[in-house]
A and B are shown apart, each in its own frame.
Chain A
Amino acid sequence: MKRRTFVAAAASLPAVNILSGTARAQSKEIRMIESGGASGESIEKGYIEPLFKKTGIKVVRESPSSLGKLRALVESGQTTTTLFELGSGIVQQAKKLGLIEKIDWAAVDPAPMFPEAKAEYGFGYQYFSTIMAWRKGVKEPKTFAEFFDSKAFPGKRCLPDFPHYCLPFALQATGVPIDKLFPLDVDLAFKKLNEVKKDVAVWWKAGAQPPQLMKDNEVQYSICWSGRVVGDPAFGLNFAGGKADLSFIAIVKGSSPENKAAAHKLFHEMSLPENQAKAAEVISYTGPSPNLDPLLPKDKLWQFPTSKQNKAVQYFENAEWWADNGEAVNKKWEAFKLNL
């Protein structure tokens, strides 16, 4: 019943707008908490500016976004922040904790989108890859088996300090093909990591660390986010075996209807391929439109997570598996880190 009134309200929304004018139906300014850096600027250029031009709605950005912050926002009862950026696994967790709201897709009225991006609780707005990269001049690995083989490829490594990144890559090094990674053989992955941990100089928490450490020659090989290294002549990289993932923007629980209406307008802008092409000029990540590829510069297609040649060689993050097993794996991860 709730759903029906919901859909009915959504369907009648444009009519209400015409009748009562837009002044009361939506806010003129909403706030968003996102990841920051170049990614935040791409949201500004790609989506916030076109929205402002069309509707006069301002979106104020803040960063960084962490699940703890979202929990604090909701539990303290504040509703000034409407939009929140979350990773694919985190969306599941936030949903379980009751921190985000369903998206009213009828009100968004999006242009065609890849189905996984059109989720019940989040707008999948940005594909990004986690890949192997290295400092130019060292021996170049082609697979993760080679990447983790420090005898044949000498040099220090820099790996993410997050199990959901490291474990699947370590499994690939034991010979598991990318389509058979899930359900993860956690013990086998940790066994491999225990073999290679002596070669890992730094476990990174911030995405800016690996490129800087490679430039400083503190480490020679990294697993890092593709957008941080593509196009920089100091680095070599390979998408093979990489992880393609989707970042989501969700609506904070308890947001007012006016703010939600404005958020839906922003979501609509985010679904348009021409806006996604603008965002991709700022950072080499891609939006969820199937019609985006022809709008991207031909000579840069190799840099994007979703272009054909890259999508084929990567695996896609399995957020459901992590939602079920993440907590147990996290404890094992902390124990593993203590024995470094």
Chain B
Amino acid sequence: MRSTGFSFVAPLLVLMVVAFNLPILYMLGLAFWEKGRGFTLEHYEGLVEAPVYLRVLGNTMRIPVIATLANVIIGYPLAHWMRGLQNRARLVAIALVVLPFWVSILVRTYAWIVVLGNGGLVNRALQWLGLTDAPVSFLYNELGVTIGMANVLLPFLVLPLFAAMIRIDDRLMQAAASLGASPRTIFWKIYFPLTLPALAAGTLLVFILCLGFYVTPAILGGGRVPMISNLLDTLINQIPRWEQASAISTVLLIVTLAIFAAYRRLDRKASL
């Protein structure tokens, strides 16, 4: 039984190993092995000596934290609100959350320029209302990148959270109320702890996806928000110092895998 199953997945497995895993291993090895010189740790030393790369990596951690927090602040109430809707309204709400999934990330990112640009909808509205004299700079800074990221990734947080929320039995809250608990106590003592594993798992998922963002910082950052993918692009395509890029990628991969391991643990708890 087990062996027949294996023969079905074998072609895919071979494809993955040959076309994906081996090249990745080769790429990671580039930093350690130099043609004609053998083993070297020079490129990792370069990483420590040039603090600029590590600072970009730090930046790459910080912006996703902000974007993820923004996602939680928007996404949690949204998922909770959707839970309370009637069936038909709930379907419409889910459709509206999922809809952006079907639009290319490039289109969505450029759309923010139309909305938030100096001559964009928001700025024109603000000036028309007399709230501001000069256009507010929403774009080409960290704020723009954060908004763009939060928008792209919202469904990744809302959908698992919503799934966990509708599983919560209403009778638990009713029982708590009948025992005299205030709505605030019910939320913090019963509802929130039940959603916490899904929230934590969704948060980590969003955070991991943020780490590898390239398009959004490239377009909405205006070249002023250096993130690791954009630095890698420069090192691989322009300079081209693949060895250095490989060392940085390895560090990024290890960090991401560590976070992913945490995600797996939380996700298992959430689905229990």
Q: Please tell me if the beta carbons of B236 and A68 are within 8 angstroms of each other in the complex.
A: yes
Q: Which of B56, B224, B231 has the most CB of A within 10 A?
A: B224
Q: Which chain A residue has the least Cβ–Cβ distance from B224?
A: A340
Q: Does A318 contact B (CB under 8 A)?
A: no
Instruction: Name the segment of A229-237, A241-249, A287-295, A327-335 touching the other chain.
Output: A327-335
Mask for B45-78, Cβ within 8 A of A = 1, else 0? 0000010110110010000000000000000000
Q: Please tell me if the beta carbons of B55 and A216 are within 8 angstroms of each other in the complex.
A: no
Interface residues on A, range: 20 to 34
Q: Please tell me if the beta carbons of A67 and B237 are within 8 angstroms of each other in the complex.
A: yes
Mask for B222-243, Cβ within 8 A of A = 1, else 0? 1110100001001011111010
State the Cβ distance, B148 to closest chain A Cβ, in Å. Answer: 15
Alpha-carbon gap, A203 to B226, bound state (A): 11
Q: Which of B117, B223, B224, B240 has the most CB of A within 10 A?
A: B223
Mask for B95-136, Cβ within 8 A of A = 1, else 0? 000000000000000000100011100000000000000000
Given A218-B118, A334-B56, are A66 and B218 neighbors across the interface (CB < 8 Å)? no
Q: Please tell me if the beta carbons of B226 and A337 are within 8 angstroms of each other in the complex.
A: yes
State the Cβ distance, B214 to closest chain A Cβ, in Å. Answer: 12
Chain A interface (Cβ < 8 Å from any Cβ of B) = 66-69, 71, 161, 200-205, 216-218, 327, 330-331, 334-335, 337-338, 340
Alpha-carbon gap, A331 to B237, bound state (A): 16
Chain B interface (Cβ < 8 Å from any Cβ of A) = 50, 52-53, 55-56, 59, 113, 117-119, 137, 139-140, 218, 222-224, 226, 231, 234, 236-240, 242
Q: Please tell me if the beta carbons of B236 and A217 are within 8 angstroms of each other in the complex.
A: no
Given A217-B118, A218-B117, A218-B118, are A334 and B223 neighbors across the interface (CB < 8 Å)? no
Q: Please tell me if the beta carbons of B238 and A216 are within 8 angstroms of each other in the complex.
A: no
Given A203-B224, A204-B223, A218-B118, are A334 and B231 neighbors across the interface (CB < 8 Å)? yes
**Which B residues touch A203, using CB under 8 A?**
222-224
Q: Please tell me if the beta carbons of A331 and B52 are within 8 angstroms of each other in the complex.
A: yes
Alpha-carbon gap, A218 to B239, bound state (A): 30
Q: What 7 additional pairs, Cβ within 8 angstroms, besides A71-B240, A338-B55?
A: A67-B240, A68-B236, A68-B239, A202-B222, A203-B222, A218-B113, A218-B140
Q: Which of B50, B113, B237 has the most CB of A within 10 A?
A: B237
Q: Please tell me if the beta carbons of B223 and A331 are within 8 angstroms of each other in the complex.
A: no
Q: Which chain B residue has the least Cβ–Cβ distance from A337?
A: B226
Alpha-carbon gap, A332 to B55, bound state (A): 13
Alpha-carbon gap, A297 to B255, bound state (A): 60
- Residue of A69, A216, A330 near B239 (CB, 8 A) is A330
Q: Which chain B residue has the least Cβ–Cβ distance from A327?
A: B239
Alpha-carbon gap, A340 to B145, bound state (A): 15
Alpha-carbon gap, A204 to B236, bound state (A): 18
State the Cβ distance, B221 to closest chain A Cβ, in Å. Answer: 9
25 A-B residue pairs with CB within 8 Å? A66-B240, A67-B239, A67-B240, A68-B240, A68-B242, A69-B237, A71-B240, A71-B242, A161-B223, A202-B140, A202-B223, A202-B224, A203-B224, A204-B223, A216-B117, A216-B118, A216-B119, A218-B119, A218-B140, A330-B239, A331-B50, A334-B56, A337-B223, A337-B224, A338-B59
